[in-house]
A and B are shown apart, each in its own frame.
Chain A
Amino acid sequence: MSRLLARLLGRLPIGWLQLVHQRGRFAAALSGVAFANVLVFVQIGLMSSMGASTLRPYEFFQGDILISAADANTLTDGGNVARQWLLQALADPDVVDGMGVFVAMVPWDRGETDISLTTFGIDPFRTNFLAPEIAADVDVLQLKDAAILDRLARGLTREEAAAIRLQTPLSFETQGRTLTAYDTFAGGGGFGGDGYLLVSDQTFLSLFPARSSGAPDHILLQLRPGAEPDAVADRLKLLIADSTLRIRSYADAMDEEVRFQQTQRPTGVIFGFGVLIGVLVGIVIVFQVLSADVADHLREYATFKAMGYGQGFFLGVVIEEAVILGVLGFIPGVIAGWGILTLMATVTTLPLFISFEMAVIVFVGTVVFSALSGMIATRRLAAADPADLF
């Protein structure tokens, strides 16, 4: 290692030699950096899984434009949209088809655990609005009180989910009715609900008698191939008399919700703070260690100054130490972070993992922030006056 660094630096690897000479401090510094890394990994893992799980229900559908109520910050929030606007939207030459989507939370008493399913009411005859893997199975929704259940829902075991099929359906009581799941699909637990449920709009309205078929929660539009969703959305804003409605491309709707979840919802903000705290913890630890190290070596550094070494040399030594701490601390950090996220993923069924991109960003961030802390730590070097050595 010494030889390699000497090659790399073109000088004695003083920083490395200094670090390994004080094993206790070195180990403490490495665990500090690793700890900061774990914090950051867990937080951005949660954040990115929040992004992914926020977008998950959007993937059940196929559409180009989504019309929602003004206060519908998410798919499940906010008021509803009058169906008359769907008819009006169809007047635009680029709009070829439209469907109302109903959504509500449906509680399911599972004995020891009560879970809550995000339930979509859709038109089972309009399979063109559904993702192909879902569209293939929705025929059964034409049956009264039929449902397709999320096989990844929390509180449902793999075996239970696997057993659900047309011949052996699973029935359960909710909202004073008996729903029967004849099939399953891959949804996934999110931050808002424990899983998903698909029913027909008819079944949805019988579960929620207060809702009306004339006012779904969202309107999904499909455009003529080649049409520009943003341009059409702009035209629809003029065409549709209710100016409070949110009319935007499906892609924009997805972006808006992710941004909302990450910046407006407490969970998102907390994850953001978690990342900040992780970074701060890392900076403080590296700074503490390096400035203590500089303070311990003031006499040696003063001697080197007397011998003719300049500021650049000392900066180089401290940055060498910082980069070593960053690189070597990252390794246990990424391993522990991965372990913790994997464990959390099994417990929560959230898509929690460290992507290659995340790892690269955190690695670069760790090294850059370590180097910055190191630079700040060299300020104590000014106290090394070679004239005091004689």
Chain B
Amino acid sequence: MEDVDISIQTSALNHYFGTGEARKQALFDIDLQIERGSFIVMVGPSGSGKTTLLTLLGCLREIQEGSVTLLGQELRNATAAQNVRMRRRLGFIFQAHNLHQSLTAQQNVLMGLQVKGHLNQALSDKAAAHVLSLLGLAERLDYLPANLSGGQKQRVAIGRALVGNPDVVLADEPTAALDWETAAKVVDLLKQLGQARGTTTMMVTHDNRILDRADRILTLEDGRLVGDEDRRS
């Protein structure tokens, strides 16, 4: 383990929801080290804490107990501004596509790029078009979400997450709306990005065919990490 580049590290991570009588612990003592460029799949029954862990890693919730180091930076006690800056280095793929209804496919993808600051418009347009064509949407650049199928919308959302070359991709059941062929394409793309650019992917999924392609599979149960299987060797 000595020479490996670690992009996500957690130790003694606990998380609670609610206060007083209603206080309920959702994560117990999570210790994790995730290598840069790896493709991690997280599984576990409903309510086991998978989404909670993703939101903590994504700087979307405050770290209450324990520590999370993301891309070399401690998230515990980070300021709101630090969180915002960190989130620009991440790519989020939500279960729902959450596309902006007034923007075309290409414009939605551009939003993922524009957050990094002022960029040359022509180059940005080209980058957005390129990502969409990788996802098989070259013909749909100017379509509004209302005129796209569910799978197409999800692919646009994936393009939006990837266009800014994120260091870490956090995805919560992103392939539910996709057919297997497209899902496989998306997984391959993420794995390629891991090889080529060191992009780390943490994906929650129940799709067994994706599990087969994972570098490592984490299993959560009742808020505890109960399984950690390395698939590469």
List residues of A whose CB falls within 8 A of some B CB.
6, 10-12, 14, 17-18, 20-22, 297, 299-300, 302-304, 306-310, 386-387, 389-390
Contact = CB atoms under 8 A, between A and B. Distances in A.
B39 interface: no
A2 B94 CA distance: 29
A390 B87 contact: no
Given A12-B103, A12-B107, A12-B110, A387 B87 contact: no
B121 A310 contact: no
Contact of A14 (B81, B99, B100, B172): B100
B115 interface: yes
Contacts of B51: 390
Contact of A389 (B88, B90, B98, B103): B98
Given A306-B60, A386-B60, A387-B61, A297 B100 contact: yes
A390 B95 contact: yes
Contact of A21 (B84, B86, B101): B101
A14 B60 contact: no
B111 interface: yes
B94 A389 contact: yes
Given A297-B100, A387-B55, A390-B51, A307 B95 contact: no
Residue of A299, A304, A306, A309 ringed by the most chain B CB atoms within 10 A: A306
Contacts of A307: 87-88, 92, 111-112, 115, 160
A306 B101 contact: no
B98 A300 contact: yes
A17 B112 contact: no
Nearest to B164: A307
B232 interface: no
A308 B85 contact: yes
Nearest to B88: A308
Given A17-B103, A387-B60, A390-B172, A11 B87 contact: no
A390 B115 contact: no
Nearest to B102: A21
Interface in B16-72: 51, 54-55, 58, 60-61
Contacts of B55: 387, 390
Shortest 8 CB-CB contacts between residues of A and residues of B:
A308-B88, A21-B102, A308-B87, A303-B98, A387-B60, A300-B100, A17-B102, A390-B172
A309 B100 contact: no
Interface in B152-181: 160, 172
B114 interface: yes
A299 B112 CA distance: 16
Nearest to B97: A303
Given A306-B87, A389-B98, A10 B103 contact: no
